[in-house]
Structure 1
């Protein structure tokens, strides 16, 4: 199936064609017709499956078809947990709407609100926002949600992880009862399931790439190594993979800084991104990484949600995550769009139970690599 067969309007098709997009991803193929019919939607999908286009293209098309009404009220709200993801969504919305009169704006905390307020005052149709800055500007009476016709809650499970569920519950009552709502989440914990029932009206549910699935093009390797030797192993691996872009996962913010510092001391230039970094520092690091100026990024799980690199070649689990599902999300950063990728996992003795959980969840055994730094799993 092509995008043209999904009954997408000519201006949006032109924008997609200029980006070289011809065939929709599975979630786009399923979600776009549902959204174009103005049905509520519950989408279970990981980052990287193409869900931004799945929800934004129908909204742009609806607003474009009603462009005779050029009032300045905000008509669509896309709520997302992180600043990086908000910027990424805004970039996509601008690309898809470039041949329409639909206007969009992104707001997030951690920076001055001045330029964001100026953009809002010019009049926009679609607002992409993080919860904190949205509530702040609402309290200042700069933003009103009373004219919202389309509402998207993206990365709902990450919203929960980051403690935004209470902010969301404050925002929902500000929206009109008559609206189209789309909720997307990589997983469906009970809190999100309950929330979805309260905000969605007769939704159609679609599920793509469930949390247990791992892309076939990703080669998974396991290194059994104790914590004191992990930095040595990391430096060794990165030295052997000089031409590869690498995303290294740390469990903590402090750990990310520590890993980056030790790599730099060994002559491997890298940057760390996490919640304690300023917005400008995080965005600069991401820009350097995407452009190839920086080859290695060390990140925490939350910060990494904003990293969307089409040809990322190597993911390294320096620390194992607390739950097996997070492993699937991490390594899904590589091996995208039919490309091959490699995922390496460094596992100490106390982390080995997580490896067992991962293998049980994915139904795959991680290929163990023998090195001089390897240890027995006991």
Structure 2
């Protein structure tokens, strides 16, 4: 068995990984870490959840350690990620290994007061993890300088292309020294991403560990033909009431908010996640989902790449995605790290042809369940068997972030005004006169 030490990582980092139960490298790590440690430009393609963060992050830390000190506002390594969630998770993953080597990692993302980031950059930063927009804002204000960046990594480059970030990414890369090491990791490497590779990477060593298909053996795919929208809505309620962590995907922000309201009215502790939510709300949703206190996350595709949380046992396409890449990235939120997971797509009658084409392009072998002709589609045994669906039975919940109303029984115990003790003393006597 190949170990992280065999790949060239120092024992201090191997020890940190072992403390987190990580002892055997993923395929992309076995393939790319030695080249990254050697200072080569690396081009990596692998499925979501395949361990790309450690693949570029650990060699980056090793190459920086013991090679001098960073100056305030002048990081020596830069990691660009498309979403706040992904940038935050990269920071969390690398923070402890970096501290072990005497290095500091800082994340700067949109949705946070920029003055907070400016103050943080006033101290030396070795590795800066950033969303492109916030990094550009800081450079424009003269609060961030990339002239000493020795190593740059782009994570989920194809999503940055899909989200329109590549012009900002190009501007930022031009601010880094041309001779620096550059690593680009993505689930797909086509179109504009390939142009980025040709422009900024120097004779990169390419590593690809999976085709652009949903090839995770521990992931099962199911299509549930539910008939009309009312039937689908009832099915969603039953699925959301199941035990375990569930991510439900909708196409629009409005759809997410409306679905969360329905679930919470049924007593299901669901939280929304989309681009219009403030950073505080997004952080609460992710943290609650990660620790299990929030069992259901309803999200737009912004979460398809930005969530790396263990034990997500079910992904539900309430709204089928617009194209097959989105299907694969949504599906990749489950069956992570070798765990088992289930992906289901709810298909209304008018969506059958569209979803059939989508599944074919995604290279997915999905089991079909036609429950549309049943009197009660939500109560069919097949749905319960595959998802663990059950009737919701809890009391209605207030909107996320608001306190739950007091227990009526406790409220009833409060004394009425007539039962309250009269104030004593001179004021009482005057009032009685």
TM-score, normalised on structure 1?
A: 0.94
**CA apart distance, 1:133:** 1.0
Tell me what 1:75 maps to: 76
Tell me what 1:264 maps to: 264
**CA apart distance, 1:71:** 4.2
Change in Cα spacing, 1:232 to 1:121, as seen in structure 2 (3 Å) is: same
Change in Cα spacing, 1:364 to 1:105, as seen in structure 2 (3 Å) is: closer
Confirm or deny that 1:184 pairs with 2:185: yes
**CA apart distance, 1:121:** 1.0
SS in 2 for 1:123: coil
Tell me what 1:307 maps to: 307
Q: How does 1:78-97 map to 2 (within 5 A)?
A: 78-97=79-98
Asked if structure 2 preserves the Cα contact closer than 8 Å seen for 1:214 and 1:362, the reply is no
**CA apart distance, 1:219:** 2.1
**CA apart distance, 1:157:** 1.0
Tell me what 1:164 maps to: 165
Tell me what 1:275 maps to: 275
**CA apart distance, 1:362:** 4.7
Confirm or deny that 1:115 pairs with 2:116: yes
Tell me what 1:10 maps to: 11
Tell me what 2:225 maps to: 224
Query: 2:13, 2:214 → 1: CA distance?
Result: 31
Tell me what 1:342 maps to: 342
Tell me what 2:213 maps to: 212
Q: Map Cα deviations across residues 50-87 of structure 1 (whole Å, 9 max, x no partner).
A: 10000000000001131x44544311000111111111
Q: How does 1:30-41 map to 2 (within 5 A)?
A: 30-41=31-42
Query: 1:296, 1:33 → 2: CA distance?
Result: 39
**CA apart distance, 1:140:** 1.1
**CA apart distance, 1:245:** 0.9
Confirm or deny that 1:27 pairs with 2:63: no
SS in 2 for 1:98: helix
SS in 2 for 1:124: coil
Tell me what 1:368 maps to: 368
TM-score, normalised on structure 2?
A: 0.82
Tell me what 1:249 maps to: 249
Stretch moving more, 194-203 or 183-192:
183-192
**CA apart distance, 1:374:** 5.7
Query: 1:176, 1:295 → 2: CA distance?
Result: 45
Tell me what 2:48 maps to: 47
Asked if structure 1 preserves the Cα contact closer than 8 Å seen for 2:235 and 2:377, the reply is no
Which protein shows a greater Rg?
Answer: 2
**CA apart distance, 1:341:** 1.2
Match of 1:233 among 225, 232, 235: 235
Give the number of aligned pairs. 372
Stretch moving more, 353-362 or 177-186:
353-362
Asked if structure 1 preserves the Cα contact closer than 8 Å seen for 2:304 and 2:333, the reply is no
**Gap runs ≥5 in structure 2:** 379-433
**CA apart distance, 1:335:** 1.3
Tell me what 2:135 maps to: 134
Query: 1:365, 1:133 → 2: CA distance?
Result: 40
**CA apart distance, 1:349:** 2.8
Tell me what 1:143 maps to: 144
Change in Cα spacing, 1:309 to 1:156, as seen in structure 2 (3 Å) is: same
Query: 1:256, 1:247 → 2: CA distance?
Result: 11
Query: 1:279, 1:233 → 2: CA distance?
Result: 31
Query: 1:358, 1:108 → 2: CA distance?
Result: 33
Confirm or deny that 1:154 pairs with 2:169: no
**CA apart distance, 1:3:** 0.7
Q: Map Cα deviations across residues 136-188 of structure 1 (whole Å, 9 max, x no partner).
A: 11111111111110011111111111111111122122111110001111112
**CA apart distance, 1:364:** 4.1
Query: 2:304, 2:120 → 1: CA distance?
Result: 27
Q: How does 1:295-334 map to 2 (within 5 A)?
A: 295-334=295-334
**CA apart distance, 1:213:** 2.9
**Gap runs ≥5 in structure 1:** none
